[in-house]
Structure 1
Amino acid sequence: MRCLAVGLVLALAGGSEPASSRERTSHGVSSAQQGPKVAKPQRGRASFYANRFHGRRMANGRRFDRNSNMAASRSLPLGSRAQVRNLENGRTAIVSIQDRGPFTRGRVLDVSPSVATQLGMREQGTAMVEIVPLPAGGGAG
């Protein structure tokens, strides 16, 4: 009788296995086994920061450095990294998302002037880009 009561308590409590192994996705793989989620690639128009923003505070509290590999995104997490490819000339750069923006309609990314030079978009001011988020602690660069 005591075994039945203990079994009933375990069944009602969700069993003896840890919660992470019970949380299954539709593919039968636990969420803990899937690893960190990485956002999907985005495409859109990128622009770059004017030099007058050099030294101003960003969303993360640090000061903007026009010579850094910094970028601003409305959707990617602060501190994350992404590979940006200029779709007009194929040039790429790795950026670190440190700020929020751009706040101009139709734009998906603001990059530092240094990154704009790497991407070959300084002359035009904007370019169509593909942004591929990189996994934390890995990726190119």
Structure 2
Amino acid sequence: MGFQRPKVRVRSILIASGVAVAVLAASAWALAAVVPRDSARSAGAVQAAPSATTPQADPPRAVPSRASRGGTRSPSPSPSVTATSKATPKPKAKKKKKPAYRVTRSGSCEASYYWQGQMTASGERFDPSELTAAHKTLPMGSKVRVTNKNNGRSVIVRINDRGPYAGGRCLDLSRAAMKKVGGTGAGVIPVRYQVLKRT
């Protein structure tokens, strides 16, 4: 009777262990059956999907595309001529024609110059920076071409005063006019004059 008790205990432990293992197996099977297959798939898809920061590999191409270096590129299209790109010729600005004159009278004499601010015989104030001159008899406003015989330089002046009254001189030029013909250093120069009339 003493030897039968340990056998009974061992047998009871084995039976209890078997029952526990069976219960655990049944619980695991029931849990697996409860979880839906779609969620398992979505979980697997999340694990298998590449991260957003990882670039996907470009699959190999059997034929090179146009953008690839090895391909033959199509010729570039010829630039189309648009209305804005057409070169429209700008109208040429008309050059102002110099007034044509004809010579009505000419001669030679000596010319001097003056620069003092004073009233002229025409009634306007004398301006030494303007191209004017004094003559004894020519009408006011007459145009006269004066040429320095020493260097060939010439200037056209407007008569607005009377004079000069020194002997041998027929014209008294403004300082600007004498400078144009290069005679300010000499004071008095030999000139050829031509009285002009507009054609």
**Structure-1-length-normalised TM-score:** 0.66
Alignment of 1:45-60 (within 5 A): 45-49=110-114, 51=115, 53-54=116-117, 56-60=118-122
SS at match of 1:40: strand
Give the equivalent residue in structure 2 for 1:91.
Answer: 153
Cα drift, residue 40 of structure 1: 1.7
Q: Which has the higher contact order (CA 8 A, sep 6+)?
A: 1
Alignment partner of 1:128 out of 173, 178, 190: 190
Give the equivalent residue in structure 2 for 1:44.
Answer: 109
Alignment partner of 1:75 out of 131, 137, 154: 137
SS at match of 1:98: strand
Task: Give the fraction of aligned pairs with identical amino acids, expressed as a percent.
Answer: 37
Q: Deviations over 1:29-77 (max 9, x none)?
A: xxxxxxxx9642020000001x3x22x1100000000000010011221
Q: Deviations over 1:86-119 (max 9, x none)?
A: 0111000000000000011110100000011001
Contact 2:146 2:193 in 1 (8 A): yes
Q: Using the alignment, how far apart are the partners of 2:107 and 2:138 within structure 1?
A: 10
Contact 1:70 1:111 in 2 (8 A): yes
The number of residues matched between the two structures is 98
Contact 1:84 1:131 in 2 (8 A): yes
Cα drift, residue 134 of structure 1: 0.6
Judging by fraction of residues, say which structure has more helix.
2
Amino acid at match of 1:113: R
Contact 2:155 2:181 in 1 (8 A): yes
Q: Which runs of 5+ in 2 are unaligned?
A: 1-101
Q: Which runs of 4+ in 1 moved over 4 A?
A: none
Q: Using the alignment, how far apart are the partners of 2:172 and 2:134 within structure 1?
A: 5
Amino acid at match of 1:65: D
Q: Using the alignment, how far apart are the partners of 1:115 and 1:47 within structure 2?
A: 10
Q: Which runs of 5+ in 1 are unaligned?
A: 1-36
**Structure-2-length-normalised TM-score:** 0.47
Amino acid at match of 2:175: P
- How large is the RMSD of aligned CA atoms in angstroms? 1.5
Larger radius of gyration: 2
